[in-house]
Amino acid sequence: MKGNLNYPYPGQNKSENSNYAKSLIQQFCTVNNIPVPKFVVNNRTDCFGFYRRGTNTITVNEKLCKTPVKTPGFTWSYTGYKADLTVAGVWAHEFGHYVDNVLQQISSKMNVKGESNVSSYEPNNSERFAESMKLFILNPDLLKQGRPKRYEFLTKICGLKPVINDAWEIVLGNAHEKLITATRNWVKK
């Protein structure tokens, strides 16, 4: 294994990946004066995760989630990458819905016209906000470099502060070189 041991690594087990995300989310809540949500694992649900508006509970089906990919190919899911169905990625995405609720559906004010999506799962502003929050939690510099309007919305309009201050290359330092190259290309778009 190469890179920074503080960040997720290829094949990291789901329990460690989950604990990593929960710790980051708790730190984020402290820094941003947001109540810490309740984390619920429900491996019987048929979706990766969900947040019910008006509650303080986010739920993830860790069984369905992926581990950080060792060699990108059929799957590209990696913690802190734009394609992230790891346990950490799903926790961070669902936490994005929770933050949107705490900020009284601020996603309705999100205007990122002319900027490409973070991921292929952005059918509406609520999901666009959650996908942006996923990167803002797990790899804020990648969001800042790749989708600056979203980063600016989260920092200037929402008043949020990231917890991670490292460059995206450091956050993804344990990832396969193919994933790093794909990330560089995504940032350039």
Digitized pLDDT (tens) for each residue of the chain, 189 residues in all: 345 668 999 999 999 999 999 999 999 999 999 999 999 999 999 999 999 999 999 999 999 999 999 999 999 999 999 999 999 999 999 999 999 999 999 999 998 888 999 988 898 999 999 999 999 999 999 999 999 999 999 999 999 999 999 999 999 999 999 999 999 999 998
Does a structural domain hold residue 111?
Answer: yes
Is the residue at 73 inside a domain?
Answer: yes
Is residue 3 one of the residues assigned to a domain?
Answer: no
The Cα 180–Cα 153 span in angstroms is 26
Distance separating alpha carbons of residues 38 and 35, to the nearest angstrom? 9
Q: How many Cα atoms occupy the beta-carbon half-sphere of 176 within 13 Å?
A: 15
The answer as to whether 122 is a domain residue is yes
Asked if 48 contacts 85 with a C-beta cutoff of 8 angstroms, the reply is yes
Pairing of strands 57-60, 38-41: parallel
Radius of gyration over every alpha carbon of the chain, rounded to an integer in angstroms: 15
37 inside domain: yes
Whether 24 is in a domain gets the answer: yes
Q: What is the pTM of this model?
A: 0.95
Number of structural domains in the chain: 1
CB 96 within 8 A of CB 53: no
Q: Which domain holds residue 108?
A: 14-188
Rounded to whole angstroms, the Cα distance separating 38 from 187 reads: 33
- 48 within domain boundaries: yes
In a domain, 8, yes or no: no
Measured in whole angstroms, how far is the alpha carbon of residue 16 from the centre of its chain? 16
